[in-house]
Amino acid sequence: MPFVTTKDHAEIFYKDWGQGQPIVFHHGWPLSSDDWDTQMLFFLQHGYRVIAHDRRGHGRSTQTSGGHDMDTYAADVAAVVEHLDLRDAIHIGHSTGGGEVARYVARYGKGRVAKAVLVSAVPPIMVKSDSNPDGTPIDVFDGLRAQLAANRAQFFREVPLPFYGFNRPGVKVLDGVVDNWWRQGMMGAANAHYECIKAFSETDQTADLKAIDVPTLVMQGDDDQIVPYEDAVLLQAKLIKNSTLKVYPGYPHGMLTVHADVINADLLSFIRS
């Protein structure tokens, strides 16, 4: 399997399929590059080169004892990009992966990035504070950590229900989707998943968003039960200079999976524009 070795000797697994303009996909917590299978196949069939990596401590990458923070995540992406010498690339990030995209593009993207997409993404910052009064209380994230530490396997059975909106009245639970979420989560390291909660909830990425100067699509469902859209995509659209905003009525956090037909078409339209 293909790996890139980082400066601190972590092995980052990646997929690299096809030829053409590269699209780099950044997955959410606590998943892996497998979460992008539908999008990777779609864009491969439309003539693009598609790349996705497993974040350190996730999927098939090294289960490191440290480095579970946005700075290191972005540096790991830079290592993959430099190894593959990717230029004129589109970077698409979902949830925590959206934070990773924002930091990567802001710090390392000059001359390499053509466009960016943040999907149901965590920036600018999730946790509630005096400067972010509409954020999510820290008690919520403490609760996630406590449940993960107590019984990660059971916790990862429960999270996919609000993640995909399967807990809404009349919405059919897709067992394969839930099983695949659980499978991906359990491939990763408990310590990485635990530490990543702080990374995705408490990292202030306001400066990252302001520094992005490439055309950027920001998209999210207004029934996102994981990352409230009023404190995410609406603020992203205000902070990113050259942004396009799309809000999807009734769509959940995991809309890339359960509404792939709509989202893929919109991504393709933006990339071609």
Rounded mean pLDDT, 57-73: 98
User: What is the tens place of the pLDDT at every residue in 206-231?
Assistant: 999 999 999 999 999 999 999 999 99
- Note whether 101 and 208 are within 8 A (CB): no
Q: How far is residue 9 from each of residues 4, 120, 154, 202, measured CA to CA in Å?
A: 9, 31, 32, 26
pLDDT of residue 270: 98
C-alpha 88/C-alpha 268 separation (Å) is 16
Q: How many structural domains does the chain have?
A: 1
Per the annotation, the verdict on 273 as an active-site residue is no
Give the pLDDT confidence score for residue 1 in this predicted structure: 75
Nearest to 189 by CA among 97, 57, 59, 68: 57
Helices 37-45 & 260-272, crossing angle to 10 degrees?
50
**Nearest Cα to Cα of residue 148 among 191, 210, 177:** 191
β pairing state of 89-94 and 113-119? parallel
- C-alpha torsion sign, points 234, 92, 54, 187: positive
95 in catalytic set: yes
Q: Which of 76, 208, 224, 231 is catalytic?
A: 224
Concerning whether 224 is annotated as a catalytic residue, the answer is yes
CATH code for the domain in which residue 33 is found: 3.40.50.1820
Q: Note the pTM of the prediction, 2 decimals.
A: 0.97
Marked catalytic residue, from 32, 33, 61, 95:
95
For the segment 138-165, what is each residue's pLDDT rounded down to a tens digit?
999 999 999 999 999 999 999 999 999 9
- For residue 63, what pLDDT is reported? 98
Q: What average pLDDT does the structure give for the chain?
A: 98
Question: How far is Cα 184 from Cα 6, in angstroms, rounded to an integer?
Answer: 23
Model pLDDT for residues 23-54, shown as the tens digit of each residue: 999 999 999 999 999 999 999 999 999 999 99
Domain extent, residue 152, equals 3-272
Q: Give the three-class secondary structure for 111.
A: coil
Q: Identify the active-site residue in 27, 193, 253, 259.
A: 253
